[in-house]
Amino acid sequence: MTEQSGQGSARSQQDGAAGAPRFGRWSRRGVLGLAGTGVAGAAVGFVAGHASVDEAMPAVVDPATVVHPFHGEHQAGITTPVQEHLYFAAFDVRDTTTREDLVELLKAWTEAAERLTRGLEVTEDGAVDGPVLLPPDDTGEAQDMGAHALTVTFGFGPSLFTGEKGKRLGIADRRPAELKKLPLFAFDLLEDPISDGDLCIQACADDPQVAMHAIRNLSRIGFGTVRVRWTQLGFGKTASTDRTTPTPRNLFGFKDGTANVMADETAALEEQVWVPDDATPAWMAGGSYMVTRKIMMTIESWDRASLAEQQRVIGRDKGEGAPLSGGLEFTDPVFAAKNEDGSLAIDVDSHVRLAHPEMNNGTRMLRRGYNFVEGNNALGQLSAGLFFICFQRDPQQFIDIQNNLRGDLLNEYIRHVGSALFAVPAGTAEGEYVGQRLFG
């Protein structure tokens, strides 16, 4: 978590939410004992910013005080170090909503989101300082909790621009050509009520209640203008965007995010993630396209597969996360490498081979997905999976890789049930509202 990573600087953590408690310096042993927690992650930023060994002893920050600035060149929640919890919501604009109504909502959402990411309530009156005879402005469940690294990221779906709605909102001619419903892929079993949407908000935080509070209150502000179409909770990240935190694991038990585009890969971000400055339409310059896929994982079948089979399917080993061609987690896979018996070390249909840039004309994406568990189904099986989120400068990158995964061995154990694409505009400057370059 360095200054380089943009949204998540050590300084912003130090500045923290005003008045929130802060721990003093801890012993090295105490700090190392927290490895893998948000506390240790926050501490790394301090190490990076200091020169001498003595000073390198990290002053550990209360995770509640970690603040990622809302305003910036790009929206927070893309390259920001991936937080532990997700609450995602897709909305549809109501049939009665006018362009003016929507602009008012985007202004209100911007103001509220900016406050929330500082660990504040949606307005100054908040939950308890307003008139007692009126419902409070803020629902109150995150009072005194702090920011917990909350980021709030907004996106616009293709359906906002098309048909009668696009005309009514006056943006029918402002839809980027790339922003269209994703095609149906082999094996897709998509359910309409948990797919697509006119607008989306991705809230990520290191505390689940903080993420939930953000979506609850932003939805409440939208009442009468938009309605919630679908939501998704995620409890464990399945990707990282920084090299300082250990790679997390998905529900199949494998490290996920090893070969992700990292926040410090400036050239790769320009080439693969950010929409270029000369984009058409211009309002998308500096933005990105977000794909979400709700992927069910048949956990019980996977758990009955042998370790060798599980590793063959992924193409990496389950413990270290190293490619089956050898080395350690971050060693590049060698797809021509052979076992002693002459067979290929990495199966031609393994997930990592088919998803690798070498098999996709150099195409990459920034992944930011989360695990989810929604109880058990009628057969008593875990209703669980991976809410896959990825960012790219052009949705075609996702489409090409997903098409290349047609023969993926993993397909036997997963099922895509939800799908959406959103245009995520660039970040806002202070005083600007999200979508101003689209509606302004």
Ligand X SMILES: C=CC1=C(C)c2cc3[nH]c(cc4nc(cc5[nH]c(cc1n2)c(C)c5CCC(=O)O)C(CCC(=O)O)=C4C)c(C)c3C=C
**Residue from 56, 101, 79 nearest 8 by CA:** 79
Q: Does 190 bind ligand X (CB under 6 A)?
A: no
* Contacts of ligand X in 332-391 (CB under 6 A): 351-352, 355-357, 365, 386, 388
User: Judged by CB, which is closer to ligand X: 136, or 357?
Assistant: 357
* Contacts of ligand X in 319-338 (CB under 6 A): none
Q: Can you tell me which of 252, 335, 433, 439 binds ligand X, judged by CB under 6 A?
A: 252
Q: Does 295 bind ligand X (CB under 6 A)?
A: yes
Q: Does 91 bind ligand X (CB under 6 A)?
A: no
- Please give the single-letter amino acid code of residue 305: A
Q: Can you tell me which of 258, 298, 331, 436 binds ligand X, judged by CB under 6 A?
A: 258
Query: How far is the C-alpha of 103 from the C-alpha of 26, rounded, in Å?
Result: 47
Query: How far is the C-alpha of 45 from the C-alpha of 3, rounded, in Å?
Result: 8
Cβ-contact 183, 222 below 8 angstroms: no
Which residue bears the tokens 């109880």? 375
- The distance of closest approach from Cβ of residue 404 to ligand X in the complex, given in angstroms and rounded to an integer, is 8
- The distance of closest approach from Cβ of residue 185 to ligand X in the complex, given in angstroms and rounded to an integer, is 9
Q: Does 294 bind ligand X (CB under 6 A)?
A: no
- Which range binds ligand X by CB under 6 A, 16-24, 207-215, 248-256, 274-282? 248-256
Which SS3 state, helix, strand or coil, does residue 419 take?
Answer: strand
Q: Does 201 bind ligand X (CB under 6 A)?
A: no
* Contacts of ligand X in 387-426 (CB under 6 A): 388, 398, 401-402, 405, 414
Alpha helices in 350-391 (DSSP H): 351-355
User: Judged by CB, which is closer to ligand X: 213, or 293?
Assistant: 293
- The distance of closest approach from Cβ of residue 254 to ligand X in the complex, given in angstroms and rounded to an integer, is 4
Q: Which region holds residue 303: left if phi is over 0, alpha if psi is between -120 and 50, else beta?
A: alpha
Residues that bind ligand X (CB under 6 A): 250, 252, 254-260, 293, 295, 297, 314, 316, 351-352, 355-357, 365, 386, 388, 398, 401-402, 405, 414
